[in-house]
Amino acid sequence: MCMPLCVSVVLSGSVSMSEQAQTRGRFFIRTYGCQMNERDSQSVAALLIEEGWEQATSMEDADIILFNTCSVRDQAERKALGKMGMTAVLKKDRPDLVLGVMGCMAQSRGAELLERVPSLDLVAGTQQFHRVPEILGKLGSDSGSRKSVVAVGEDQAGLSLLARHAPTEVAVSGFVSIMRGCNQRCSFCIVPSTRGEEQSRSIEEIADEVEGLVAAGLREVTLLGQIVTSYGVKELGSRGCMPFVRLIERVHEIEGLERIRFTSPHPKGLRVELMEAFRDLPKLCEHMHLPLQSGSTRILKQMRRTYSKELFLEKVERLRSLVPSIAITTDIIVGFPGETEEDFQDTIDVVKAADFDNAFVFRYSKRRDTPAAAMDGQLPEEVKQERNQILLALLEEQAMRHNQCLVGSIEEVLVEGPSKRNPDRLSGRTRSNKIVVYPGSPRHVGQLLPIRIERAMPFTLYGDPVILE
Ligand code: SF4
């Protein structure tokens, strides 16, 4: 499942006054939600730059403000709506300002958004990202004659947009979207209706994109999709070697690329050949984010997850037996309709038995037009909150224990840049995806360095570079 990190991301860049004079205008994109949204915003930004627009450093500085939205959780929708409402006020002083909303919320709510925020000029759904520059170009600069555009239809042509990158966005570690959509239809999830049916890009197109990024400085790639284990099944068939494993093998051949990761798989797609890829392909990092959602087989059935707690644990055990150093993280929903104390206890038992390194825990929130929203047994917020806290405490304890085990060891760290909390220090990730902060020089960025771990916290490791003879 695909409820990775919920973050608010801002795409920004700097523009000189002389450059501004030659451009069509300046845009600013605020992104809500998961890495897929982050990646989509990067693609739209790249396309806008190609078409002559410039990135602004802030909303105040922009002629066009775009919100790329998330519908996975109610809170994310409310946050985006609040921000859109506040931004609409800017139009009182600057009537020419263009306001647009893109992504999942645009797809699920369509024209209804114009009723909520009448000053919106553009509503572009998840298959219309590629048309944003064209629509913006046609809107016109005269706000008096401008007509709002709602574009939420299906359009396969949008798949090609996934390959776009603005040169300024290429970093040491980056995302590449390999597919979009999901056919799974978990009962709590709005994604199949906002992102549509699964569509995969070709292996060669993805490999070309990664090669281009590596030439521009990328060292680590994360292959992205709502359900990557279903990659290419429709296009390449499910007989023989898993298409997703074939893709990883092809990307593995790319010279100069040091590391490969992916997110998110579905436990049903965690076949032995994918487990063996971790063992056999040295660039595939030893980290698996394997969404559990619930440890109760009864609730899993209600969620339409197609596995039992026993099968999930069997797969975890098999994976660990093949790759003992693998770190496993997960997503869990607490307070799904009808979840009893006994069901919740099952989740706790599975969290302990799988010995997750960490997890994202979500309190169930109703999503409209999903089967779970209409189920009996909706739980009060206090119960969800209480279960959330219990689980977070347990996971923090587990995370701390896993990290403590690394104290004294030497870990290979890919240095990504200054630490967010302390810019005087550098930050990178181990192969098992743990954040390491250490004292070093900016010239280390992009290097794989051996770091001795000196201290551990639940979410961060601290260390010193090792001088090797
Ligand atoms: S339907 Fe299920 S597998 Fe598909 S994106 Fe949603 S949670 Fe993930």
State pLDDT tens for residues 211-259: 999 999 999 999 999 999 999 999 888 778 899 999 999 999 999 999 9
State pLDDT tens for residues 5-59: 333 333 333 333 344 445 788 999 999 988 889 999 999 999 999 989 999 999 8
* Ligand 1 centroid from CA 1, angstroms: 4
Residues with C-beta less than 6 Å from any ligand 1 atom: 1-2, 182, 184-186, 189, 191-192, 226-227, 266
Q: By percentage, how much of the chain surpasses pLDDT 70? A: 93
Q: Which of 185, 226, 304 to mutate to test the pocket of ligand 1 (most atoms within 8 A of CB)?
A: 226
The pLDDT of residue 468 is above 90? no
Residues 325, 433 within the same domain:
no
* Ligand 1 centroid from CA 456, angstroms: 33
Residues 127, 13 within the same domain:
yes
Establish if 98 belongs to a structural domain.
Answer: yes
Return the ligand 1 atom nearest residue 2 CA. Answer: 8
* Ligand 1 centroid from CA 85, angstroms: 30
Establish if 1 belongs to a structural domain.
Answer: no
Q: Domain residues for 384? A: 288-404
* Ligand 1 centroid from CA 280, angstroms: 28
Residues 253, 319 within the same domain:
no
Residue nearest to atom 8 of ligand 1 (CA): 1
Q: Which of 248, 266, 285 is the last residue of a domain?
A: 285
Establish if 49 belongs to a structural domain.
Answer: yes
Return the ligand 1 atom nearest residue 226 CA. Answer: 5
* Ligand 1 centroid from CA 108, angstroms: 16
Range scoring the smallest mean pLDDT among 51-65, 271-285, 395-409: 51-65
Return the ligand 1 atom nearest residue 182 CA. Answer: 4
Exposed e or buried b per residue across 10-19, where buried means at least 16 C-beta atoms within 10 angstroms of its C-beta? ebebeeeeee
Output the pLDDT for position 157: 77
* Ligand 1 centroid from CA 46, angstroms: 28
Establish if 2 belongs to a structural domain.
Answer: no
Residues 146, 48 within the same domain:
yes
Establish if 441 belongs to a structural domain.
Answer: yes
Query: In whole angstroms, how large is the CA radius of gyration of the chain?
Result: 23
pLDDT averaged over every residue in the chain: 90
The pLDDT of residue 196 is above 60? yes
CATH code of the domain covering residue 338? 3.30.750.200
Establish if 118 belongs to a structural domain.
Answer: yes
* Ligand 1 centroid from CA 2, angstroms: 6
Residue nearest to atom 2 of ligand 1 (CA): 186
Number of domains present in the structure of the chain: 4
Q: For residues 113 and 118, give the distance between their C-alpha atoms in angstroms, rounded to a whole number.
A: 8
Residues 207, 127 within the same domain:
no
Residues 133, 273 within the same domain:
no
CATH code of the domain covering residue 418? 2.40.50.140
Residues 124, 92 within the same domain:
yes
Give the amino acid at 29: I
Under a CB-based contact definition with an 8 Å cutoff, are residues 52 and 15 in contact? no
Q: Which residue has the higher pLDDT, 141 or 368?
A: 368
Q: Give the C-alpha distances (Å, rounded to integers) separating 246 from 224, 241, 468.
A: 15, 7, 36
Residues 278, 292 within the same domain:
no
Output the pLDDT for position 158: 76
Establish if 161 belongs to a structural domain.
Answer: no
Residues 270, 297 within the same domain:
no
Under a CB-based contact definition with an 8 Å cutoff, are residues 283 and 214 in contact? no
Residues 382, 295 within the same domain:
yes
The pLDDT of residue 463 is above 80? yes
Residues 351, 369 within the same domain:
yes
Under a CB-based contact definition with an 8 Å cutoff, are residues 440 and 467 in contact? no
Question: Which pair of tokens denotes residue 83?
Answer: 């921000």
Residues 316, 420 within the same domain:
no
Q: Which of 243, 270, 285 is the last residue of a domain?
A: 285
Name 240's Cβ contacts closer than 8 Å, sequence gap at least 6. none
Output the pLDDT for position 240: 82
State pLDDT tens for residues 384-405: 999 999 999 999 999 999 999 9
Q: Tell me which DSSP letter residue 161 carries.
A: G
Distance of CA 100 to the CA centre of its chain: 22
Under a CB-based contact definition with an 8 Å cutoff, are residues 128 and 151 in contact? yes
Under a CB-based contact definition with an 8 Å cutoff, are residues 84 and 101 in contact? yes
CATH code of the domain covering residue 14? 3.40.50.12160
Output the pLDDT for position 238: 74
Q: Which of 264, 285, 306 is the last residue of a domain?
A: 285
CATH code of the domain covering residue 270? 3.30.750.210
Residue nearest to atom 6 of ligand 1 (CA): 189
Establish if 88 belongs to a structural domain.
Answer: yes
Output the pLDDT for position 19: 43
Task: List Cβ<8 Å contacts ≥24 apart for 230-235.
Answer: 230/179, 230/182, 230/183, 230/184, 230/198, 230/266, 230/269, 231/178, 231/179, 231/200, 232/179, 232/200, 232/203, 233/198, 233/200, 234/198, 234/199, 234/200, 235/200, 235/202
State pLDDT tens for residues 118-146: 889 999 999 899 999 888 888 866 666 77
Q: Which of 107, 108, 227, 300 to mutate to test the pocket of ligand 1 (most atoms within 8 A of CB)?
A: 227
Residue nearest to atom 3 of ligand 1 (CA): 1
Residue nearest to atom 7 of ligand 1 (CA): 1
Q: For residues 64 and 189, give the distance between their C-alpha atoms in angstroms, rounded to a whole number.
A: 31
pTM for the structure as a whole? 0.89
DSSP string, 330-348: EEEEES-TT--HHHHHHHH
| 55 φ/ψ angles, rounded to the nearest 5 degrees | -80, 135
Return the ligand 1 atom nearest residue 195 CA. Answer: 5
